[in-house]
Structure 1
Amino acid sequence: MPAYPFRQVDVFPDAALGGNPVAVVLDADGIDDATMADFARWTNLSETTFVLRPTNERADYRLRIFTPGGELPFAGHPTLGSASAWADHVGSEADRLVQECGIGLVDVKRRDDGFALAAPPLIRSGAASAEDTVAAARSLRIEVDHVLAAEWVDNGPGWLALRLVDADTVLALVPDFERMPFPLGVIGPHPAGGPADFEVRAFVPGLGVPEDPVTGSLNAGIGTWFFGAGIVADTYTVRQGTVLGRNGFVRVERDDEGVWVSGATRTHVAGEVTL
């Protein structure tokens, strides 16, 4: 079987082994779709990516992103982890990269000990219907009047985001995954002086990921919502993965170019994989 360069990168860790790992297969143009899907199921991580030659001349590389349950047009932590793996593989020290993926072109730039991605345009936005809000609340086992707002923030995975009263309420959720109608994200504020400005959790049972440890796409979508609605100023921080024993830390900010989601990236496995 052919061997391919391989990295496993921890994304958004606030401390060692605390983020969301992504498996990255490089120089993957020779791998067929079925093998990609099989390998993603085998790794059993939230996402596994395959880095290919770009088809758009503006892009540095093309990315295909698989969960154990299927392929996604875009996802955040795989974007940052794959950017780190590709740059390390080819020896690039460029400050800016362009990724081609199912949603189009995504700008990526270096930040501190990791990378930042530009939040892509939302495929679906706006307030959720009363029916969808009730269904979401029911799947989270909370009363609908505990939901301060429900907003579509779909940039590929299909996110509906719910704003709850505080971080403790977010942490206390015990979802009913069988009743969850679509990918759900929840966010609530920490008190001043807390570990971050907000606590976030992400639930994607339909894609084989009941709870995602740390989620770039959801935080990008929520950032687009929160900045657009004036809920936050120019920068805020997120803790995610707490219930799963992780210590994910995400920074979300806005500048003249748009909304950016950034975090640390650390490679823990490097070698090759036979497929």
Structure 2
Amino acid sequence: MRTRPFAQVDVFSPVPYLGNPLAVILDATDLTDADLQRIARWTNLSETTFVLAPTVEYADYRVRIFTPDGELPFAGHPTLGTAHAWLENGGTPRCPDVIVQECADGLVRIHRSSAGELAFEAPETTRSGPVSEADLKRICTALGIDRAEVVDHQWVMNGPQWVAVMLSSASRVLELRPDLSALGELEIGVVGPYPEGSECAWELRAFIAGIGEDPVTGSLNASVGQWLLRTDRMAGPYTASQGTVLGRAGRVRVTPTAVRENVLVGGTVTTMVRGSIEA
């Protein structure tokens, strides 16, 4: 064991402690897969990330993302949180305004604004299209809603296996009290619009089998943003709210890019704990 730099950050909220926490081990050199998993179980957060030297020429660093149960190929709030912690720890990107992260899902470009806010380019959706009626029936059962309440539905996979359903309003999304035991293997995102002129355009909730409700979910906001763009439900930047039912104040900024049907996903990241870990 040796001493390694460590940070715990709060992602996607302008108010500290009301976003989604992430633990970052900023030097995972020489740690085995078993070590990484053991540390992730110990931190007991939805995700813990481990920073390593990149294996491809154009990346600034490589990250491995672990839940207490296993490794993820990509996740949104770990991407922004890791980039933020890496920069604070003295990381210098090859391009001043763009950090290139290597992860199991490939290379992810993270843009840094003049104000210091970070936003990642959403990875390509690997599965889209409508959900089968059989799957939709299971989803409605888990959410405790009638099939007639579903305004639209779509597979929105981008590493995580998201399926999204749209309801008529943000207030209906907030009313949901799902039966998490009925989720099975499904990872369900639910989205509903706020009235025009509200602070936020959409309310999102994310339900994951074995985990429960995720406070603020970058990967889901990324693929939902692509879906809204494909279906002409958005034309410009918007802010999504997430985590309200859990007492959080997640705010995710989704911005169309020059690349057709793609978006940037950004938000505030704040370091809450800075120090070292023995591992």
- TM-score, scaled to structure 2: 0.95
In the other structure, the counterpart of 2:198 is 194
Cα distance in 1 between the residues matched to 2:17 and 2:116: 15
Equivalents in 2 of 1:185, 1:33: separation in Å?
A: 30
What pairs with 1:82-231 in structure 2 (closer than 5 Å)? 82-92=82-92, 94-111=96-113, 112-181=115-184, 182-206=186-210, 209-231=211-233
Secondary structure of the structure 2 residue equivalent to 1:135: helix
User: 1 CA distance for matches of 2:209 and 2:84?
Assistant: 27
Partner of 1:256: 258
| Residue aligned with 2:273, SS | strand
Aligned: 1:46 with 2:46? yes
Shift of 1:228: 1.1
Cα distance per residue 1:78-109 (max 9 Å; x no partner)? 00000001111124372111001011000101
Give the number of aligned pairs: 273
- Which structure 1 residue ranges, 4+ long, deviate > 6 Å from structure 2? none
Q: Which amino acid aligns with 1:126?
A: G
Question: CA–CA distance in 1 between the matches of 2:214 and 2:254?
Answer: 18
How far is 1:150 from its partner?
1.2
What is the letter of the counterpart of residue 191 of structure 2?
I
Structure 1: which amino acid aligns with 2:203?
E
Please give the per-residue CA displacement for 1:222-259, whole angstroms capped at 9, x wherever unaligned.
01111011111121110111011110100101121431
Letter in 2 for 1:144: R
After superposition, give the CA deviation of every residue in 1:112-137 in whole Å (9 maximum; x if it has no partner): 34210000001111111111111111
**Residue 127 of structure 1 aligns to a residue in which SS?**
coil
Q: CA shift at 1:51, angstroms?
A: 0.6
* Higher mean C-alpha displacement, 34-43 vs 71-80: 34-43
Measured after TM superposition, the shift of residue 69 of structure 1 is 2.0
Residues of 2 paired with 1:123 and 1:91: CA distance? 31
Unaligned runs of 5+ in 1: none
> Using the alignment, how far apart are the partners of 1:137 and 1:272 within structure 2?
45
- Distance in structure 1 (CA, Å) of the matches to 2:229 and 2:64: 29
State how far apart, in whole Å, the 2-side matches of 1:113 and 1:45 are: 25
Name the aligned partner's letter for residue 98 of structure 1.
V
So what's the TM-score if we normalise by structure 1?
A: 0.96
* Matched AA of 1:230: D
Amino acid at match of 2:117: G
Cα distance in 2 between the residues matched to 1:45 and 1:31: 19
2: CA distance between counterparts of 1:162 and 1:69?
26
What residue identity is the alignment partner of 1:190?
Y
In 2: Cα distance, 1:113 partner to 1:250 partner: 15
SS of residue paired to 1:85: helix
Percent identity of the aligned residues? 50
